[in-house]
Structure 1
Amino acid sequence: MPMEQPQWTGVIPAITTPLRDDFTVDHAALADHVNWLVDSGCTGIVTGGSLGEAATLSFEEKVAVNETCVRTLAGRVPVVAGIAGLATAECVALARAAEQVGCDGIMALPAYVYYSDWPEAREHYSAIINATGLSCMLYNNPIAYRTDVLPEQLAELAERHENLHAVKESSGDVRRVTAVREALGDRLAVFAGLDDMIVEAVAMGAAGWIAGLVNALPVESVRVYELARDGRWAEAHALYHWFLPLLRMDTVPKFVQLIKLVQAEVGRGTETVRPPRLPLEGAERDEALKLVRERLASRPPLPNASAHGASNGQGGSAKVAAGR
């Protein structure tokens, strides 16, 4: 059963999907991966997002990924299911399936391929949110999906749906964080949705971060968020300055390949992606590897995962992720 409604806050990875050489999902690697992220201080996980290559996963594979994460984490932190597909009916069925397998929340994405106007987007999101009693996050990413939910439109959805509790804001405009909070106050938790906006977003009132590079560098990700959250700006900026060249890998078309490359470099995954994506090769891969290795060579000393957990009293087991 899903845990009681906790609070949307902290660093919640949009997890990558580990794949075997034959492109099937590696569920053993998936279980190991999500455990490591939580042990490193993450406060929840999101499955089936863009970074998780959800557009190439079948309905059954998405449900199986959710089942593995729920079973593995066993209530340590919330499991939030990304809900995305070509058709609204498919997304509704996926949301219901996520609740049935024990997910604690959902993140509703725009429909793939079709670029909706507001009345269409409103009905799509509403159908997904109405399909479940779980706490919901709306994913706003006009850069990738060309559907932009403006603050006043978000307020309309929040008025309609009591179980809409958060928004992943990926417009790339940090002013949007301010605008959403101005329109809605504390009604919705605003999350930074792009990796290279976290310090700015927290300064403007963001409650957390749906993060990408966290899949390879969770301790650094949790640390930079916590420093910003606690107003320790000089320390936050110093770590952010080191991290930014890697965080910017989350904002380009081949972000899945790049983040999986970083995971492989730190020994936490492989470069395997599902076609039509292909692994990086040649000069493109060499250039990316050079940057990754330069950054890792100057990696700042930070507390290890167990020390991190001891310092914040959580030990990676905080029950954080769904609710107001």
Structure 2
Amino acid sequence: MKDALYGGVNAAVLTPMHADLTPDIARMADHARWLLANGCTGLGLLGTTGEAASFGLHERRAILEGLIAAGIPAAKLMPGTGCASLGDTVELTRHARDMGCPGVLMLPPFYYKAPSDDGLFAYFSAVIERVGPGIKIYLYHFPQQSAVPFSLDLIDRLLTAFPDTIKGVKDSSGDYANMLAMVERFAARGFEVYTGSDEYLQQILAAGGAGCITAASNANCQYGGIVYAKRTGPEADAAQAKMTATRRAATSVPLIPGLRQVIAHARGDDAWLTIRPPHLPLSAEQAKTVIAAWEAAGALPLPGLDGLAKAAE
């Protein structure tokens, strides 16, 4: 897809924390700079991997403001703004717009289960009307986590009603057939489809999708960058194989603490292991498992960070 706002590789960025569990903006900004220098075209903040649901409204605003103040370009950021509360969703979306972000990633209201498409259409209509113009909305389809899927008919209805606002989707369902159906039905209308699954990047690009927004891109973005640039051929195929292998490595243990373990290891910085409950750090055995899996995939050390871990030792 040409001219996609976030076309390419977007990391679902981890949120480092201080020992008191407050957000560590300096570490996060440093990681964001590394991601943008190593294959990422954009950064998804405060999504599932960023533990958004563990942060309050004011913390989420402060994280976005802190990163931009640290020099991370607002134009590269896609903050997650979807909350169970309509009011909080509106406030966070307005804030992202006012800070200069082109778009936001929006979960459906996820507390009340099995809402009708009519109910979801009413919710998004209310959000869009209250936020006003100037920001694009990307729908976050992750039914395993939210238990509230976006049907194709609902997307069609939203896109028809709000063609200047509804811009795309992140599909984290793991169902490639669903991703492909979104591309085939909506891409011609400028709707950007991003896979949330690393293993499908090459396929979705070939089908007319816009790229990926993935958790493992926190540490495998260099390969995603090659796939996005080359698309086909031996180099792209090898890079896609690395993406698939690293995704499997990332899911060999609980995903979020596992990725923190990989970054801590690569940077020689155990502060990355701090995580808000109910998530917990990995056990010693799990830590060995995930590092061994990334090493077996040939993805460690990370480019530009290998010297840091050695220095820390």
> TM-score, normalising length from structure 1?
0.82
1:267 paired residue number: 267
Corresponding letter in the other structure for 1:61: E
Give the 3 Å change call, closer, same or farther, for CA 250–285 of structure 1 in structure 2.
closer
Matches within 5 A, 1:274-313: 274-296=276-298
* 1:61 aligns with one of 51, 59, 62: 59
1:322 paired residue number: none
Structure 1 CA distance for aligned equivalents of residues 141 and 240 of structure 2 = 24
3-state SS of paired residue (1:7): coil
* 1:199 aligns with one of 202, 209, 214: 202
2:96 paired residue number: 98
Deviation at residue 100 of structure 1 after TM alignment: 2.7
Unaligned 5+ residue runs, structure 2?
A: 306-313
1:315 paired residue number: none
Deviation at residue 252 of structure 1 after TM alignment: 7.7
CA contact (8 A) 1:194 1:250 kept: no
Give the 3 Å change call, closer, same or farther, for CA 284–268 of structure 1 in structure 2.
closer
1:128 paired residue number: 127
Corresponding letter in the other structure for 1:201: I
CA contact (8 A) 1:33 1:268 kept: no
CA contact (8 A) 2:253 2:290 kept: no
Identity %: 27
Give the 3 Å change call, closer, same or farther, for CA 297–182 of structure 1 in structure 2.
closer
3-state SS of paired residue (1:114): coil
Corresponding letter in the other structure for 1:210: I
Give the 3 Å change call, closer, same or farther, for CA 148–250 of structure 1 in structure 2.
farther
Deviation at residue 93 of structure 1 after TM alignment: 1.8
2:106 paired residue number: 108
* 1:190 aligns with one of 186, 190, 193: 193
1:83 paired residue number: 81
2:157 paired residue number: 156
Relative contact order, CA 8 A, sep 6+: which one is greater?
A: 1
Corresponding letter in the other structure for 2:160: E
3-state SS of paired residue (1:11): strand
Corresponding letter in the other structure for 1:139: Y
Unaligned 5+ residue runs, structure 1?
A: 306-324
2:311 paired residue number: none
2:174 paired residue number: 172
* 1:222 aligns with one of 218, 221, 225: 225
Structure 2 CA distance for aligned equivalents of residues 249 and 107 of structure 1 = 26
Corresponding letter in the other structure for 1:193: G
Deviation at residue 48 of structure 1 after TM alignment: 1.1
Give the 3 Å change call, closer, same or farther, for CA 238–40 of structure 1 in structure 2.
closer
> TM-score, normalising length from structure 2?
0.85
Deviation at residue 122 of structure 1 after TM alignment: 2.1
Structure 2 CA distance for aligned equivalents of residues 97 and 80 of structure 1 = 12
Corresponding letter in the other structure for 1:47: L
Corresponding letter in the other structure for 2:154: Q
Give the 3 Å change call, closer, same or farther, for CA 98–220 of structure 1 in structure 2.
same
Matches within 5 A, 1:17-32: 17-32=15-30
CA contact (8 A) 1:141 1:147 kept: yes
| Moved beyond 4 Å, runs of 4+ | 249-253, 297-300
Give the 3 Å change call, closer, same or farther, for CA 76–39 of structure 1 in structure 2.
farther
Structure 2 CA distance for aligned equivalents of residues 129 and 227 of structure 1 = 37
CA contact (8 A) 2:79 2:103 kept: yes
Structure 2 CA distance for aligned equivalents of residues 76 and 87 of structure 1 = 25
3-state SS of paired residue (1:12): strand
Structure 2 CA distance for aligned equivalents of residues 285 and 74 of structure 1 = 30
Corresponding letter in the other structure for 2:241: H
Cα-to-partner distance string for 1:219-245 (whole Å, 9 max, x where unaligned) = 2221233332xx32x332222223323
RMSD between aligned alpha carbons?
2.6
3-state SS of paired residue (2:9): strand
Structure 2 CA distance for aligned equivalents of residues 209 and 190 of structure 1 = 8
Deviation at residue 299 of structure 1 after TM alignment: 7.3
